[in-house]
Amino acid sequence: MTIDQIQKAADFIRSFNTPAPTVGIILGTGLGALAREIKTDVEIPYETIPNFPLSTVESHSGKLLLGTLAGKPVMVMQGRFHFYEGYSMPQVTFPVRVMKWLGVQTLLISNAAGGLNPGFQVSDLMLIEDHISLLLTQNPLTGPHLPAFGDRFPDMSEPYHPKLIQEAEAIARELGFPVQKGVYVGVTGPQLETKAEYRMLRQWGADVVGMSTVPEVMVAHQMGLQVFACSVVTDLCIPETLEKASLPKILAAAARAEPQLTALFRELVARL
């Protein structure tokens, strides 16, 4: 993706004359309820935005919302893009670069993930402390380097902002619900993993596994955004007790977690 392509998308979004967003939010599978908490000024279908990909996953709405949440100007992706849809990593992460161009300083991300940690339960929330990206077959930071994007070799020792994680923990305590913390491993998908692969990922130190988030985080961190991400455990991936996953069960698990996730994100934005 070129700066010209990013600029055209940003100029189109600016043409709606809404307040410049300072917070970007990416909503994952079955986690769209937060959109109802937003005082929406403009709703933009992805297909109308220059150079934006299209969401092809049935549980992703494919709309960009501009408005306010907890008094803060926000830009919310109601549906994201995945490598398994056939997009390149630069396409998957294009909206994050557009967010930066529009003035976003903090990026909040949610996703649905499979639980690898035997101590987790379906519908648990897990605050992502770290990730494993080694299984991704493409890296969104490869290719010609543009200084406007940030460091060529960004340090990834703290891709998830520690203060935001601490704040989220405090919010959960105040609101009276538990949260887990752990490591997210990103895979390309779209197939789910075998039992042997689940064993390997757990041995690597991963607590949940999913098919998104890591590319967006890498680009956001490179561009200097503060990042917070939270997974909803929508199925358990314990080899010894593994059951076949189904989309209806995954969506139902995400729906059960939505009230807590929505409250967490709303309060976190209020405290930024």
State the total domains in the chain: 1
Instruction: Walk along the chain (272 residues) and give the pLDDT tens digit of each residue.
Output: 799 999 999 999 999 999 999 999 999 876 778 888 999 999 999 999 999 988 766 555 689 999 999 999 999 999 899 999 999 999 999 999 999 999 999 999 999 999 999 999 999 999 999 999 998 989 999 999 999 999 999 999 999 999 999 999 999 999 999 999 999 999 999 999 999 999 999 999 999 999 999 999 999 999 999 999 999 999 999 988 898 888 888 889 999 999 999 999 999 999 99
Whether 40 is in a domain gets the answer yes
**Cα gap 269→272, rounded to integer Å:** 5
- Domain of residue 248 covers 20-270
CATH number for 70? 3.40.50.1580
Q: Determine the pLDDT at residue 114.
A: 97
The model's pTM is 0.95
By residue count, the chain amounts to 272
Short-list 84, 87, 102, 98, CA closest to 29 = 84
CA 95 remoteness from chain centre: 12
Whether 11 is in a domain gets the answer no
Short-list 267, 266, 272, CA closest to 34 = 266
Whether 70 is in a domain gets the answer yes
* Cα distances (Å, whole numbers) of residue 43 to 66, 85, 100, 209, 239: 6, 23, 19, 31, 42
Q: Is the dihedral of CA 143, 188, 220, 15 positive or negative?
A: positive
pLDDT in tens, 6-57: 999 999 999 999 999 999 999 987 677 888 899 999 999 999 999 998 876 6
Whether 220 is in a domain gets the answer yes
Short-list 114, 111, 140, CA closest to 28 = 111
Per DSSP, the three-state class of 205 is coil
Cite the DSSP H helix spans in 35-144.
89-102
Whether 122 is in a domain gets the answer yes
Per DSSP, the three-state class of 151 is coil
Other beta carbons within 10 Å of 111: 27
**Cα gap 201→209, rounded to integer Å:** 8
Whether 9 is in a domain gets the answer no
Whether 60 is in a domain gets the answer yes
Whether 221 is in a domain gets the answer yes
**Cα gap 2→4, rounded to integer Å:** 5
Short-list 47, 64, 50, 45, CA closest to 2 = 50
Residue type (1 letter), 89:
M
Other beta carbons within 10 Å of 204: 13
Q: Determine the pLDDT at residue 62.
A: 86
